[in-house]
Amino acid sequence: MSDQTGPSNCQICDQPFPDQAMIPGGTVRHAVAQRIRTDHPGFDPNKPVCASCNAKYRSDYVRSLLEAEHGELTSLDEQVIAALRDQELVAADINEAFTERQSIGQRIADRVAAFGGSWTFIGLFGAIIVGWMAVNAGLLLAKPFDPYPFILLNLVLSTLAAFQAPVIMMSQNRQAAKDRLEAEHDYRVNLKAELEVRLLHTKLDQLLSHQWKRLIEIQQLQMDLMEEIERNGRNHG
């Protein structure tokens, strides 16, 4: 004989769910339960609620908290609320997501900027300039193609700088965009973690309060039992 029970209906959406997808109504946070009672006055803490409905009303409660603290919500706040409602993770690999959106021109700009800012480029370009001046100073060629003061070399350097500067700026702009994306991602992760911790703390406070009430009830029962035993002892004495 199987010990598994059949699906039970959520008291909010009235849809059947397996037991592992349900939570006791009594464990729903008090403020969230109040929002549920606004739409469903017959909410019973002794009946189960599906995780989806709980997440929906919890996200509504979080929205009200953020609106009370921040005023108008930003698009990042809306994304965090949606992640709470859909029970999704907001952590992601920013480097992988950013790399996938690169165009061919952007990849070339990054490589040119990386090479132009390396010691390899400085050493190679310095060797080329020194060789150019040595050849055209009359040391190796009787009739140099770019004699002193190396006007052609100046033109080449100016042209190279004119092309290299915007390529480096494109790469810097992409790095700035990546930094903004990482900052937004960190904000979403930190905000969701803060909200989850706040909800968890409130949940623990609720459970502790419930446990204290149970302990007081048990102590009261123990005291009543001891008084009854004492009275019976006196009667028999």
DSSP 206: H
Asked whether residue 157 carries a pLDDT value surpassing 80, the answer given is yes
Residues with Cβ < 8 Å from 88, sequence gap 6 or more?
82
* Average pLDDT across the chain, whole number: 76
Q: How far apart are CA 141 and CA 27, in angstroms?
A: 91
Mean pLDDT of 110-130: 87
Q: First CA to last CA across the chain, in angstroms?
A: 54
Model confidence band, residue 1 (pLDDT cutoffs 50, 70, 90): very low
Q: How far apart are CA 11 and CA 7, in angstroms?
A: 13
Asked whether residue 200 carries a pLDDT value surpassing 80, the answer given is no
Mean pLDDT of 56-83: 75
Nearest by Cα to 58 from 22, 41, 75, 34: 34
Give 150 or 74, the one with higher predicted confidence: 150
Distance of alpha carbon 132 from the chain centroid = 54
Asked whether residue 118 carries a pLDDT value surpassing 80, the answer given is yes
Distance of alpha carbon 84 from the chain centroid = 11
Q: How far apart are CA 45 and CA 52, in angstroms?
A: 17
Do 48 and 8 meet the contact criterion of CB atoms below 8 Å apart? yes
Q: How far apart are CA 7 and CA 1, in angstroms?
A: 17
Model confidence band, residue 124 (pLDDT cutoffs 50, 70, 90): very high
User: How far lies 38's CA from each of 7, 28, 87, in Å?
Assistant: 26, 15, 23
Helices (H), the chain: 30-39, 51-70, 75-86, 94-100, 104-116, 119-134, 151-236
Mean pLDDT of 95-104: 72
User: How far lies 81's CA from each of 24, 77, 89, 185, 219, in Å?
Assistant: 23, 6, 11, 14, 43
**pLDDT at 4 (0 to 100):** 45
Mean pLDDT of 57-83: 75
